[in-house]
Homo-oligomer: A and B are copies of this chain.
Amino acid sequence: MSKVKPRTLSGFMELLPGEQALFDRMVSTLRRTYALYGFTALDTPVIEAAEVLLAKGGGETEKQIYRFTKGDTDLALRFDLTVPLAKYVALNAGQLAFPFRRFQIGKVYRGERAQRGRFREFYQADIDVIGDGELDIINDAEMPSIIYRAFTELGLKRFVIRFNNRKLLSGLFALMGVEEDKAGEAMRIIDKLEKIGLEKVTEQLCELGLAQEKAEALLALLTCAERGEDPLERLDALSGQNAQFDEGLKELKTVASLMASFGVPETHYKIDLTIARGLDYYTGTVYETQMLDHPEIGSICSGGRYDNLAEYYTNRKLPGVGLSIGLTRLFYVLQEQGYLNTSLLTAPADVLVIPMTDDLAPAVRLATALRESGLRAQIYSENKKIKARVQYADKLGIPFVVFLGEDELKSGKITVKDMASGEQTTASPTLLISGIKQRVAALRSGAPIRDKGAMEEELF
């Protein structure tokens, strides 16, 4: 028979079993963390009516989208989890309680030009809180604590959550004489500060109509924290002149003031007035998260407050605040940088049972008992030499191997080999099971990420 060459499309991540175990561990850690904050899980279709998905329309999105017809229906694959959320909330508003807190971890699709570290199918891990008409600022203050806990649980140590407020920025632009219809563009220019540098940003602000000295003054203010100044103090001096600025400043202060109560240490958050986010969508608090030792990676968790989630579907005003982690890209980056905790047990089983007699029933009964105890057990009874059987456990990283021969059956005791130490122990099954359980619990504890930066720090 002529064969088709098996291949996986470029831009699609497909992991080997050990890697997948670490990825899944990250997903379950995020699920557990999000649940602690009262978020409910959603799962929306990957395919939606193109008309629904592209209600907002235009822009880069439309070019990248996977769109096709089936029968008469114009279909598209979701390119983010926000538009499906908007559809879901507009569709089910009557059956939901507001504020509606949901998380969704799912695949999204963008037909981008394939390049290293860019994915066409990737997981996003999103949380959003949606209000009905209004939404209290406490929800904005809670977001950094969720990021902090999530990343800490994942094992990341050296990161900082930076936040700002777009109302404050807009007000500041107005105070500096930027025309209102140019505030969005000014926001996008500020957002590029880290990428293109102070000089270019000043230049572009001038092109937008700002006087050179005003642009410089604005940037000096936005970057004041870098020179050890307290941004809130600097901002306070400007209050009372612009309502939007004042509101933004008040919100920013509220968010900052609750960090300690939310359990976020001072080392892990920062007011950063240069955070603007490119999207017009955001209207208040905005967030970015940086790995301290890898700023070149950019933000690994971003989001913000928006006024109106579902304006393309409903007249109901649904303000919200949310965060998104690009999980596939984060995993890729962590792997590239050697941040994955490869010492975590990722084998598919805790114990490999090797029957050495023709009658398989005793091995099966032992495997059943191991599983009853909560241990992950596999029976290996392929027709291979004993050495090959043990190598199988070795290749998979299965930590314990049990041999079950005539001697064991006669004595009622079993022999367990600890693959790491090579040590063999013979004892009753009950005794051995409890010992294995302890060891396995230790091997499985620990986080999926091992922060290299923090480890190096500990060395000194």
**A186-194, A308-316, A417-425, A430-438: which lies at the interface:** A308-316
Q: Does A6 contact B (CB under 8 A)?
A: yes
Give chain B residues whose Cβ lies under 8 Å from the Cβ of A41: 17, 20-21, 24
Q: Are A6 and B90 in contact (CB under 8 A)?
A: yes
Q: Are A261 and B364 in contact (CB under 8 A)?
A: yes
Q: How many copies does the complex hold?
A: 2
Q: Are B312 and A45 in contact (CB under 8 A)?
A: no
Give chain B residues whose Cβ lies under 8 Å from the Cβ of A311: 1
Give chain B residues whose Cβ lies under 8 Å from the Cβ of A374: 36
Given the interface pairs A7-B91, A364-B138, A371-B37, the reply to whether A107 lies near B46 with Cβ below 8 Å is yes
Given the interface pairs A138-B364, A258-B361, A376-B35, the reply to whether A45 lies near B4 with Cβ below 8 Å is no
Mask: chain A, 127-138; 1 = CB below 8 Å from B; 0 = not: 000010011101
- Chain A interface residue count, CB cutoff 8 Å, equals 105
Q: Does A449 contact B (CB under 8 A)?
A: no
Q: Are B134 and A383 in contact (CB under 8 A)?
A: yes
Mask: chain A, 32-55; 1 = CB below 8 Å from B; 0 = not: 000111111111111111011001
Interface residues of A in 319-374 (CB under 8 A from B): 348-349, 352, 360-362, 364-365, 368, 371-372, 374
Q: Does A66 contact B (CB under 8 A)?
A: yes
Please give the distance in Å from A457's CB to the nearest CB on chain B.
Answer: 25
Q: Are A7 and B46 in contact (CB under 8 A)?
A: no
Given the interface pairs A36-B377, A96-B17, A97-B395, the reply to whether A135 lies near B9 with Cβ below 8 Å is no
Interface residues of A in 93-140 (CB under 8 A from B): 95-97, 99, 101-102, 107, 109, 111, 120-121, 131, 134-136, 138
Give chain B residues whose Cβ lies under 8 Å from the Cβ of A55: 4
**A68-76, A214-222, A271-279, A284-292: which lies at the interface:** A68-76
Q: Complex formed: what's the CA distance from A21 to B7 in Å?
A: 35
Given the interface pairs A88-B14, A97-B392, A382-B99, the reply to whether A9 lies near B73 with Cβ below 8 Å is yes
Give chain B residues whose Cβ lies under 8 Å from the Cβ of A35: 348, 376
Give chain B residues whose Cβ lies under 8 Å from the Cβ of A258: 360-361, 364
Q: Which residue of B lies closest to A91 (CB)?
A: B6
Give chain B residues whose Cβ lies under 8 Å from the Cβ of A262: 364, 368
Q: Which residue of B lies closest to A146 (CB)?
A: B371
Q: Does A23 contact B (CB under 8 A)?
A: yes
Please give the distance in Å from A292's CB to the nearest CB on chain B.
Answer: 24
Q: Can you name 6 A-B pairs with beta carbons within 8 Å?
A: A3-B314, A38-B348, A38-B352, A71-B111, A136-B383, A141-B364
